């Protein structure tokens, strides 16, 4: 239970700046997820909080204390790693109790705490086993148990689920969320999986190339992405993105795509674009739907196109079709059968399109 | 017969030939240790052993009835004591230093690390014997010729590089995350090493220790220069006591040789499992 503050924190590996002057405030009991593509500096950031990497520039404050000069053991944080890193020569019980033993706690008290943690994570039955005799999911639980036994101020998770298969991953995801509700603690959780981030986080930090692209709640990021990168990163399927150029046409701005399609700039964005500007405009799959299976939005643009492929998933159907030469995806929630080769009239909801300046990558 | 069967047979034949090639001299030493001098010197050779006895061993250990050559008063027990002291102490020190060194190479990044590592390994490329004259001169200047200390220093220097190499590979195999968890769990670096990394690399350290011990136990060339008397002569150097100007006491020498081989053999068998896992585990560097 503590808040964590990062002030202009940088990390260098030789000449490579892996983390670039990031500022971040994590409030007490918050579940904060750091997400971004591989190599963007998530682990480095986490490891600096843990004290496993030197903080090359800036300051990290946990609670009221600046921890730059403190050893990992003096920071009262617990870390859970991707490959669990259980101590293979100790039983589950010894793994769980290790930190307390090092801290010099009495055997009785250790047993009590271990039993409590084992209860929370449902690992009572394996206490006498060695890690090698556990399945992946059980190991994951033990790793989490080992972290909570200490009652740390902050939990740090570094891609804890990426070694598990899909089914177990979903299950453990739910369990981590539940754990956070039971054990009220600040959590910083690193993942490259945006679904994991969306489902777990109170707030998400999106990183790219060592900088923070955007911070916000899952819905904020989904609804108002600050950059093109955030827009394509968050949401599944990924936001459709079309490069085009702004042109004035009879007092109104329009977008001309690379394939020569002319699309009006939505009313709300008429004032922010200028002649000749290179932009990308994006729209989510559910905002372009076949006309005959949906309602026509008030501000829409019609597009006739052949279906390349359709994926009926039950509650929804994904339709892959062309937008000029670029393939886009449309999602409809009506259980109608669509076949490859069908020619459909699509309606693009212009009010729900996003415009990004190509030079800065920022939303317009 | 299939090609595979023929292959198998060929492999077996070569394996047997190889084993015979390796084993024969050792076996001959053992047989010789139990034979009278006449049989040993006989021409043509007496292939099938006869008249075997323990005389040589009795003479060697208890100074019992005179050996066949009548002058086998080699102070084997003193040599044994020297061998044990020198081998054990030098092994302990070499493993201690080597393990810490290996850990440092495996876990710390410092400037010129690869060059250092290369230099340390390079010392193994120099034949020890070529150093024995400089060492002799140096040691005689500081007065540690013919002492346990002098020989121990040489053996430690001889064994540290190999220990570093072996344990470095071993520590690399242990995921860094393990000691990192331990450190966030409240350990100092040293505690993490002691509680986590050291127990996990037991077999690597054990194999390093065995190798160091065997190298010290068997070393001859350098000790034969540095050891002058019963104060520091080891068993291997003691073998030379069986030679005199015109004759060699073959049975006595072979009896002592057997005596030297036995502990090495027992040790090897005892830790064979460790040794194999140690070498393969440590050998594959990450
Ligand atoms: N120990 C290291 N030495 C050198 N470069 C490193 C080291 N650790 C990470 N890096 C580099 O720093 C960048 C960020 O790495 P990391 O924080 O692990 O990213 P992420 O966890 O987001 O995948 C990457 O380009 C990576 O190659
Ligand atoms: Mg990472």
User: What is the DSSP track for A201-259?
Assistant: -SEEEEEETTEEEEEE-HHHHHHS-SBHHHHHHSSSSPPEEEEEEEEEETTEEEEEETT
* Interface contact flag, A50 B191, Cβ < 8 Å: no
Two structure tokens written together for B181: 């968890």
Tell me what pLDDT residue B275 has. Answer: 65
Q: Is any ligand 1 atom within 6 A of the Cβ of residue A300? A: no
Distance of CA B125 to the CA centre of its chain: 17
Find tokens 């000790």 and name the residue.
Answer: B223
- The reply to whether A13 touches chain B by the CB within 8 Å rule is no
Domain ranges of chain B: 3-53, 76-281
ipTM for the predicted complex: 0.81
* Interface contact flag, B178 A51, Cβ < 8 Å: no
Q: Which residue's C-alpha comes closest to atom 1 of ligand 1?
A: A13
- CA–centroid distance, B183 to ligand 1, in Å, is 20
Span(s) in chain A for CATH 3.40.50.300: 4-233
Tell me what pLDDT residue B284 has. Answer: 38
- Mean pLDDT over residues B133-157, rounded? 92
pLDDT category of residue B280 using cuts at 50, 70 and 90: low
Find tokens 């190889």 and name the residue.
Answer: B18
- Mean pLDDT over residues B103-118, rounded? 89
- Low-confidence winner among A34-43, A113-122, B238-247, B268-277 (lowest mean pLDDT): B268-277
Q: Is any ligand 1 atom within 6 A of the Cβ of residue A13? A: yes
For chain B, report the end-to-end CA distance as a whole number of angstroms.
43
Two structure tokens written together for B163: 């220990």
Query: What's the Cα-to-Cα distance from B164 to each of A225, B104, B167, B195, B278, rounded to whole Å?
Result: 54, 9, 5, 20, 13
Counting DSSP H helices and E strands in chain B, the numbers are 15, 0
* Interface contact flag, A83 B175, Cβ < 8 Å: yes
Question: Cβ distance B221 to B131 under 8 Å?
Answer: no
Tell me what pLDDT residue B68 has. Answer: 44
Rounded percentage of chain B residues whose pLDDT exceeds 90: 37
* Interface contact flag, B188 A50, Cβ < 8 Å: no
Tell me what pLDDT residue B278 has. Answer: 57
pLDDT category of residue B247 using cuts at 50, 70 and 90: confident
Asked if pLDDT for residue B33 goes beyond 90, the answer is no
Q: Pairing mode, if any, of strands A252-257 and A211-216?
A: unpaired
Q: Which residue's C-alpha comes closest to atom 3 of ligand 1?
A: A13
Q: CA A121 to CA A172: how far, in whole Å?
A: 11
Q: Pairing mode, if any, of strands A31-35 and A16-26?
A: unpaired
Q: Which residue's C-alpha comes closest to atom 27 of ligand 1?
A: A39
The second-level CATH assignment, the architecture, of A240-357 is: Beta Barrel (2.40)
Q: CATH top-level class for B76-281?
A: mainly alpha
CATH of the domain spanning A4-233: 3.40.50.300
Q: Which residues of B touch A150 (CB under 8 A)?
A: 185-186
Q: CA A253 to CA A267: how far, in whole Å?
A: 9
Those of residues 137-196 in B touching chain A at CB distance below 8 A are 175, 177-178, 180-188, 191, 195-196
Q: CA B113 to CA A242: how far, in whole Å?
A: 50
Span(s) in chain A for CATH 2.40.50.140: 240-357
Asked if pLDDT for residue B282 goes beyond 60, the answer is no
* Interface contact flag, B184 A81, Cβ < 8 Å: no
Tell me what pLDDT residue B63 has. Answer: 66
* Interface contact flag, A87 B196, Cβ < 8 Å: yes
In this structure, what is the dihedral angle of CA atoms B269, B275, B280, B284, given to the nearest 10 degrees? -160
Q: Which residues of B touch A144 (CB under 8 A)?
A: none
Q: Is any ligand 1 atom within 6 A of the Cβ of residue A191? A: no
- CA–centroid distance, B106 to ligand 1, in Å, is 19
Nearest in space to B69 (alpha carbons), one of B226, B223, B255, B203: B255
Task: Give A238's contacts (C-beta < 8 A, 6+ positions apart).
Answer: A232
Asked if pLDDT for residue B228 goes beyond 60, the answer is yes
The residue with greater pLDDT, B147 or B36, is B147
Query: What's the Cα-to-Cα distance from A206 to each of A46, A230, A311, B221, rounded to whole Å?
Result: 14, 7, 30, 66
Query: What's the Cα-to-Cα distance from A291 to each of A243, A334, A348, rounded to whole Å?
Result: 24, 12, 9
For chain A, list residues with pLDDT below 50: none
pLDDT category of residue B286 using cuts at 50, 70 and 90: very low
For chain A, report the end-to-end CA distance as a whole number of angstroms.
39
Question: Cβ distance B249 to B69 under 8 Å?
Answer: yes
**Residue to substitute in A12, A14, A18, A46 for testing ligand 1 pocket (most ligand atoms within 8 angstroms of CB):** A18
Nearest in space to A89 (alpha carbons), one of B185, B196, B273, B186: B196
Nearest in space to B86 (alpha carbons), one of B132, B155, B25, B146: B155
Q: Is any ligand 1 atom within 6 A of the Cβ of residue A37? A: no
Q: CA B111 to CA A92: how far, in whole Å?
A: 39
Q: Which of A77, A87, A89 sits opposite B184 (nearest CB)?
A: A77
Q: CA A203 to CA A238: how far, in whole Å?
A: 20
Tell me what pLDDT residue A286 has. Answer: 92
Two structure tokens written together for B229: 């008397």
- Mean pLDDT over residues B66-89, rounded? 77
Nearest in space to B76 (alpha carbons), one of B245, B236, B222, B218: B236
Nearest in space to A39 (alpha carbons), one of A227, A211, A208: A208
Nearest in space to A355 (alpha carbons), one of A213, A212, A216, A228: A228
Distance of CA B189 to the CA centre of its chain: 33
| Widest CA span in chain A | 82
Ligand 1 atom closest to Cα of A34?
Answer: 22
**Whole-prediction pTM:** 0.80
Q: Which of B175, B185, B199 sits opposite A102 (nearest CB)?
A: B185
pLDDT category of residue B276 using cuts at 50, 70 and 90: low
Q: CA A202 to CA A218: how far, in whole Å?
A: 7
Q: CA A145 to CA B101: how far, in whole Å?
A: 34
Asked if pLDDT for residue B70 goes beyond 70, the answer is no
């Amino acid at each position: 239970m503590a808040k964590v503050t990062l002030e202009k924190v940088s990390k260098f590996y030789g000449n490579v700046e892996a983390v670039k002057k990031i500022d971040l405030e994590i409030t007490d009991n918050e579940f904060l997820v750091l997400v971004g593509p591989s190599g963007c500096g998530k682990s480095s950031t986490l490891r600096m909080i843990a004290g496993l990497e030197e903080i090359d520039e800036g300051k990290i404050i946990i609670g009221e204390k600046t921890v730059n000069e403190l050893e990992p053991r003096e920071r009262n944080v617990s870390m859970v790693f991707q490959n669990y890193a259980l101590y293979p020569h100790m039983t589950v019980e010894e793994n769980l109790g290790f930190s307390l033993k090092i801290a010099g706690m009495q055997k009785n008290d250790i047993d009590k705490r271990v039993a409590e943690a084992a209860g929370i994570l449902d690992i009572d039955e394996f206490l006498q086993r060695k890690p090698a005799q556990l399945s992946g999911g059980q190991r994951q639980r033990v790793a989490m148990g080992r972290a909570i036994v200490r009652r740390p101020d902050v939990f740090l998770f570094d891609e804890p689920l990426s070694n598990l298969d899909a089914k177990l991953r979903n299950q453990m995801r739910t369990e981590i969320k539940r754990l956070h509700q039971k054990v009220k603690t600040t959590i910083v959780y690193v993942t490259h999986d945006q679904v994991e981030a969306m489902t777990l986080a109170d707030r998400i930090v999106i990183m790219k190339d060592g900088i923070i692209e955007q911070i916000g709640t899952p819905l904020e990021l989904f609804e108002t992405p600050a950059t093109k990168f955030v827009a394509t990163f968050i949401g599944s399927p990924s936001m459709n993105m079309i490069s085009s150029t702004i042109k004035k046409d009879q007092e109104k701005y329009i977008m001309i795509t690379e394939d020569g399609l002319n699309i009006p700039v939505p009313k709300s964005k008429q004032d922010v674009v200028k002649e000749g500007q290179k932009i990308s405009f994006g729209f989510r799959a559910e905002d372009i739907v076949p006309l005959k299976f949906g309602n026509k939005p008030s501000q829409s643009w019609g597009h006739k196109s052949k279906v390349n492929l359709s994926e009926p998933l039950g509650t929804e159907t994904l339709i892959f079709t062309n937008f000029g030469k670029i393939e886009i995806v449309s999602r409809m929630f009506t259980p109608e059968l669509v076949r490859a080769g069908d020619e459909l009239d699509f309606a693009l909801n212009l009010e729900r399109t996003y415009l990004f300046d190509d030079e800065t990558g920022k939303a317009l | 017969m299939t090609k595979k069967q023929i292959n198998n047979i060929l492999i077996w034949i070569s394996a047997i030939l190889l084993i015979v090639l390796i084993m024969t001299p050792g076996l001959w030493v053992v047989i010789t240790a139990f034979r009278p001098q006449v049989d040993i010197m006989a021409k043509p050779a007496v292939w099938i052993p006869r008249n075997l006895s323990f005389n040589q061993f009795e003479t060697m250990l208890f100074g019992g009835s005179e050996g066949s050559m009548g002058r086998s008063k080699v102070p084997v027990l003193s040599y044994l004591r020297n061998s044990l002291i020198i081998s054990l102490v030098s092994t302990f020190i070499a493993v201690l230093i080597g393990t810490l060194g290996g850990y440092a190479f495996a876990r710390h990044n410092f400037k010129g690390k690869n060059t250092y590592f290369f230099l340390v390994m390079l010392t193994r490329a120099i034949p020890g014997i070529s150093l024995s004259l400089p060492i002799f001169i140096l040691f005689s200047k500081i007065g540690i010729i013919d002492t346990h200390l002098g020989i121990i220093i040489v053996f430690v220097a001889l064994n540290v590089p190999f220990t570093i190499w072996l344990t470095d590979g071993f520590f690399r195999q242990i995921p860094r995350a393990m000691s990192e968890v331990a450190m966030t769990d409240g350990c100092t670096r040293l505690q993490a090493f002691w509680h986590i990394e050291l127990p996990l690399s037991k077999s690597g350290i054990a194999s390093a220790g065995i190798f160091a011990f065997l190298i010290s136990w068997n070393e001859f060339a350098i000790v034969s220069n540095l050891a002058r008397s019963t104060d520091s002569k080891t068993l291997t150097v003691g073998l030379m006591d069986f030679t005199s100007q015109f004759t060699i006491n073959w049975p006595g020498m072979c009896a002592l040789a057997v005596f030297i081989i036995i502990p090495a053999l027992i040790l090897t068998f005892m830790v064979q499992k460790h040794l194999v896992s140690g070498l393969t585990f440590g050998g594959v560097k990450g």
